[in-house]
Amino acid sequence: MKHILPQNAKISKEGKETMQECVSEFISFVTGEASEKCHKEKRKTLNGDDVCWALGNLGFDDYVEPLKRYLHRYRELEGEKANQNKVDIGNKNEEREKNEFLLRRLYGP
């Protein structure tokens, strides 16, 4: 909230608590709708696409496209991270094999 308000604005503790309650209620509202969809489709796992669908279904259309773009970018970054982890593991295995080879040459089998 303080990023939106002017720097000299003050937010009371009660105001912050009220906003937190509203945010929690909103999250419950959206996830409830998404969960209902998953239940109808006989799925147990709710994902980001379900949340996007629920937002649109509940009339929060302005949030759908930005969230889809964010979700797409997030998945891209997660894929890149997973690929990097595979490379790192491969490099570690290669390094370990080189070390084992050198140790065998130095000390025998």
Per-residue model confidence as pLDDT tens digits over 39-92: 999 999 999 999 999 999 999 999 999 999 999 999 999 888 777 766 666 667
Domain ranges in the chain are 13-107
Specify the pTM. 0.67
The superfamily CATH assigns to domain 13-107 is Histone, subunit A (1.10.20.10)
SS (H, E, C) the chain: CCCCCCCCCCCCHHHHHHHHHHHHHHHHHHHHHHHHHHHHCCCCCCCHHHHHHHHHHCCCHHHHHHHHHHHHHHHHHHHHHHHHHHHHHHHHHHHHHHHHHHHHHHHCC
